[in-house]
């Protein structure tokens, strides 16, 4: 019987979720790009797989926004997906859970574990990948030409059992499954929304994120997977410190096809082994630095009293914007601010608001944003990511908002546009780094 569907609210958007199962602990399952909570249960193989999870834990099953029974809104960024998961966990009274993600859902779960490790008991990925498209520095992805051809196929054949030969090759001749898969796609998203969701996924790059994950992690990968090649899965596991890679003897990408029994067995084993208490010592954080341009000259021209009043108003403006965009003030640095966010898109939106509001005071700011690993020491954050953000800020001209490549990669699909400023050496920071200027947000 299909579990009851509930809805959690996040910023005015309804996110559909179901809760079922009687196993110990909570498990949040995140599907790939598409899902529909009602249609999932109509296919016996899927239902058996989900019920198998329900014997291991209390399962929280989610339709991501833009798909299925959740509100059909503009395709979300990965940052928004994370906010939605937190909203569902709150609504389901789950303070901590094992996150299980399949295909693109594995990517979202990995980003959640890096950003909010305090809410993640363990992480399990099925067919996960760090990056979809192949590039000079990433040989494990799919050629961009093939991806564009795939988009053309979606355009022409949406609502048919698309990609069955890649995701579930052992079921390619099963007419019942083909009929269900066609209905599943049609019920999950419209054709235009499907293409938008695919293109958002194409821009994702988690290579800088995966090394930050500190929770116990199991990476499950089918040995002959045609959707996520085994080398991509191995690369995914190598990037997560201490992760365990298990290669399943299977041709299927879908976890409920021929590999379902082996996957459930490995999940059960891992949950038993990963039940201990973990120490959270690092986290993925977006760091923002601001600085008033020519502040010394301006202070000299205004005099101490007027400069002090201007600084006070400057601080009020920035603190107001930080409150709106859920930023955390770390400290002020005389005429600048150091703040942190749990998502880069929100940090960029806040940076733009700060720039606009301080211009009303006649001030020009330079702002830098970087997302990276920070160590937690005695309640404070330390690490290269903080120095990196400060260096990026120092490169900015008056009115500029500059970001690192990691920030650009993580806001794929947000509509934020960038200008490539090339590769630069940053004082005290190893290697060279690509820097981008925010053109519009």
- Residue 192: burial class (beta carbons within 10 Å; 0-12, 13-18, 19+): exposed
Question: Does residue 390 share a domain with residue 293?
Answer: yes
Same domain, 177 and 324: no
Domain of residue 248, CATH code: 3.40.50.1820
Sign of the alpha-carbon dihedral angle for 133, 138, 140, 143: positive
Q: Are residues 301 and 402 in the same domain?
A: yes
Q: What is the largest CA-CA distance in the chain?
A: 81
What distance in Å separates the CA atoms of residue 240 and residue 247, rounded to the nearest whole number?
16
Assess whether 221 and 329 both reside in one domain.
no
Question: 265 and 321, same structural domain?
Answer: no
Whether residue 351 sits in one domain with residue 223: no
Give me the number of domains the chain comprises: 2
Are residues 252 and 289 both part of a single domain? no
Q: Are residues 216 and 118 in the same domain?
A: yes
441: CB partners within 8 A, 6+ apart? 348, 349, 351, 352, 401, 415, 416, 417
For residue 209, give every residue at least 6 positions away whose Cβ sits within 8 Å of its Cβ, in sequence order, or none.
110, 111, 114, 284, 406, 410
CATH number, domain of 436, equals 3.30.70.1230
Q: Are residues 165 and 90 in the same domain?
A: yes
The length of the chain is 441
Range of the domain at 405: 282-440
Nearest CA to 133 among 153, 148, 152?
A: 148
One domain for residues 201 and 345: no
pLDDT digits (tens), the chain, 441 positions: 789 999 999 999 999 999 999 989 999 999 999 999 999 999 999 999 999 999 999 999 999 999 999 999 887 888 999 999 999 999 999 999 999 999 999 999 999 999 999 999 999 999 999 999 999 999 999 999 999 999 999 999 999 999 999 999 999 999 999 999 999 999 999 999 999 999 888 888 999 999 999 999 999 999 999 999 999 999 999 999 999 999 999 999 999 999 999 999 999 999 988 766 566 678 999 999 999 999 999 999 999 999 999 999 999 999 999 999 999 999 998 889 999 998 999 999 999 999 999 999 999 999 999 999 988 776 678 888 999 999 999 999 999 999 999 999 999 878 899 999 999 999 888 889 999 999 976
Distance CA 36, CA 157 (A): 19
């Amino acid at each position: 019987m299909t579990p009851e569907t509930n809805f959690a609210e996040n910023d005015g958007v309804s996110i559909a979720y179901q809760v079922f199962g009687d196993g110990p602990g909570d498990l949040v399952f995140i599907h790939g790009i598409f899902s529909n909570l009602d249609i999932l249960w109509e296919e016996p193989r899927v239902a058996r797989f989900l019920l198998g999870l329900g014997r291991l834990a209390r399962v929280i099953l989610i339709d991501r926004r833009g798909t299925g029974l959740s509100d059909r809104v503009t395709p979300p960024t990965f940052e928004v997906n994370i906010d939605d998961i937190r909203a569902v966990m709150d609504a389901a009274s789950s303070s901590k859970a094992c996150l299980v993600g399949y295909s693109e859902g594995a990517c979202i779960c990995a980003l959640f574990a890096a950003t909010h490790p305090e809410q993640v008991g363990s992480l399990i990925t099925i067919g996960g990948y760090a990056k979809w498209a192949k590039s000079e520095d990433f040989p494990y992805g799919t050629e961009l030409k093939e991806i564009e051809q795939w988009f053309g196929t979606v355009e022409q054949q949406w609502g048919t059992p698309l990609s069955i030969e890649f995701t579930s090759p052992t079921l390619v001749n099963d007419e019942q499954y083909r009929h269900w898969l066609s209905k599943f796609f049609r019920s999950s998203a419209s054709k235009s929304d499907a293409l938008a969701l695919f293109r958002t996924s194409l821009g994702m790059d988690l290579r800088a994120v995966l090394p930050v994950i500190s929770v116990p992690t199991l990476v499950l990968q089918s040995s002959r997977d045609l959707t996520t090649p085994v080398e991509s899965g191995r690369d995914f596991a190598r990037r997560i410190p201490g992760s365990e890679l298990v290669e399943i003897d299977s041709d299927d990408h879908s976890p409920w096809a021929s590999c379902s029994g082996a996957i459930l067995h490995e999940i059960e084993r891992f949950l038993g082994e990963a039940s201990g208490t973990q120490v959270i010592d690092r986290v993925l954080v977006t760091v923002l630095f601001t600085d008033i341009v020519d502040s010394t000259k301006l202070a000299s021209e205004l005099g101490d009293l007027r400069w002090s009043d201007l600084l006070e108003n400057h601080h009020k403006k920035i603190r107001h914007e930080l409150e709106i965009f859920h930023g955390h003030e770390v400290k002020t640095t005389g005429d600048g601010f150091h703040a942190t966010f749990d998502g880069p898109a929100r940090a960029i939106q806040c940076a733009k608001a700060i720039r606009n509001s301080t211009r009303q005071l006649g001030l020009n700011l330079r702002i830098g944003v970087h997302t990276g690993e920070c160590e937690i020491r005695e309640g404070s954050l330390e690490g290269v990511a903080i120095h990196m953000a400060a260096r990026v800020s120092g490169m900015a001209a008056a009115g500029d908002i500059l970001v690192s490549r990691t920030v650009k990669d993580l806001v794929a699909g947000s509509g934020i546009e960038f200008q490539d400023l090339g590769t630069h050496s940053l004082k005290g920071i190893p290697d060279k780094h690509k820097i981008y200027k925010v053109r519009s947000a």
